[in-house]
Amino acid sequence: MVNMPGKKRAGPDWPLLPIIVFATAAVLVFLYANFPFHPNSQPPNGGTAIVRIGGYSYNVLLALNEQEWKTGLMNYTFSCSEPGLCNNGMLFVFPYNGSQCFWMKDTTEPLYQVWISGNVVTSFYKATPESTNSVCSYGDKVLELYSKLPLNLSIGENVSLGKVTQP
């Protein structure tokens, strides 16, 4: 725009672009630093265990406290679908038997959810990724397994917990 004598230019005399860029960057840094779980990061690690169920053994991560229960497998990407060769899911261990409710918000991978009381399967469900619908059942443990794994399961089936490794 050409500055004409006697005509005032509309808008401020200083450029806004650097201020907008700086403010946007500051907001993004704040959100990144305060967002509790970044995409494609690993879930909290309360250790690992081997779970034997339905004739298969699965390596699973353990969720042993409230923060790990809340985060679970959100934004987790499975690296393989072979039982026992990599982390195949997560075992949530609660301090009591009761109604345990789960949803799939921010969980992009399809999962089986298996409720366990003591060492017996009480219920199971194939959960839909990204669903915010809660599914509840009874148990003191809930096993989430990558649904592309083989699973041969029935209610009343025994579950055994093998080698447990703490972080």
138 near 100, Cβ under 8 Å? yes
Residue 163 is which amino acid?
Answer: K
Tens of pLDDT, residues 33-90: 443 333 344 555 667 888 998 888 888 888 888 877 877 777 666 666 555 556 678 8
Nearest CA among 88, 100, 97 for reference residue 49? 88
* Residue 34 confidence (pLDDT): 40
- E strand spans, the chain: 48-53, 56-63, 87-102, 111-117, 120-127, 135-146, 159-165
> What does pTM read for this prediction?
0.67
- In order of their start, the domains of the chain are 48-165 (2.60.120.1140)
